[in-house]
Amino acid sequence: MRYLLCFAVFSFAAFCTFAQTNPYPEENEEYAYAVTVKYQGQKPIINDFINAYFGEESEDELNGYLSDLWHRYLKNEPLDETEKVTLDSKNGFASFEKVYPPDEYSPEGNRILVEMCYWNSSDGNHKIFAESVQMFQGNRAIETEYSGVTFGIYNNATHKMTYAYREGMGIDIKTGMEGLGVSVDKGEYFLNNYLTDEREPISEEQYNNWWNEYPVVTYSLPRVGKDITAVINNRPEGKKEIIVKWNGLRFDVQQ
């Protein structure tokens, strides 16, 4: 009985120590969404993380397409000439690219570039999986509901990967136009400030130019190393490159 009591006390103390030192509280959030990463061998590889990421049923149009592209690639089925998959297993990196030819809605054509990679956290208990989505119209970066970078926090002990947003991982890059947007109301055009609920009348030309002048942040994931390259696009003074440094547990933005 004394042995069982001592063991229980030790286990509880160990759990409390882990809970206090776990650098990723996202795992313990009530709303946390996690998937199980299945693998063979001693540890998962990039293929396993991608399979887990695409393994869940989703109504997401982009992920549905990427999942189909990934599985066609694994089966060595021929890809369309507008599609490209790059898999670098040695460096734990993969990318997917799709080019849409010009049409009446997009005379310059569109391109989607999705990158995925993973690396070890310095705490020894986790791995970090990252996905970035970049979208371009011609050579100009555009922002859509899919754009940006997201992360998965993989627990070596539970084999669960919990999703985390870039802000929680230390990436909060400011473009100077946060909270701003444009709208049309009864034929009039407005610049909206959603932070103050104010709006300012603008011309139709200003409204049309908004989409070309709005700065968009794109994220390029590392094929080697752990630092992410962020680029603020569509600035009048030109692109601004920011190196997002990995500090062992999260990122430090040098803006």
Whether residue 160 has pLDDT greater than 60:
yes
At residue 110's C-alpha, the angle toward residues 55 and 147, to 5°, is 50
pLDDT of residue 178: 81
CB 206 within 8 A of CB 189: yes
pLDDT mean over 25-52: 89
pLDDT of residue 175: 85
In the block, residue with structure tokens 């997401």? 60
17 exposure class (CB count in 10 Å sphere: 0-12, 13-18, 19+): exposed
The 10s digit of each residue's pLDDT in 72-123 is 999 999 999 999 999 999 999 999 999 999 988 788 899 999 999 999 999 9
pLDDT of residue 31: 64
pLDDT mean over 33-53: 95
pLDDT of residue 8: 41
| In the chain, % of residues over pLDDT 70 | 89
pLDDT of residue 12: 41
Residue 30: which pLDDT band, with cuts at 50, 70 and 90?
Answer: low
**Alpha carbons 135 and 97: distance in angstroms, whole number:** 10
Whether residue 229 has pLDDT greater than 90:
yes
Question: The pTM is what?
Answer: 0.84
Question: Within a 13 Å sphere around the CA of 123, how many CA atoms are in the beta-carbon half?
Answer: 18
pLDDT mean over 168-188: 89
Nearest to 255 by CA among 175, 145, 165: 175
Whether residue 32 has pLDDT greater than 60:
yes
| Domain layout of the chain by residue ranges | 27-172
In the block, residue with structure tokens 């004394």? 2
Strands of the chain, DSSP E: 34-36, 83-88, 93-100, 110-120, 126-137, 140-142, 148-155, 160-165, 180-185, 188-193, 198-202, 216-220, 228-233, 240-246, 251-253
Nearest to 70 by CA among 35, 38, 98: 98
pLDDT of residue 105: 78
Strand 140-142 and strand 251-253: the pairing is: unpaired
CB 161 within 8 A of CB 51: no
- Name, in order, each residue with C-beta under 8 angstroms of 63's C-beta and a sequence gap of 6 or more: 54
The 10s digit of each residue's pLDDT in 131-157 is 999 999 988 898 888 999 999 999 999
Residue 58: which pLDDT band, with cuts at 50, 70 and 90?
Answer: low
User: Chain-wide mean pLDDT for the chain?
Assistant: 87
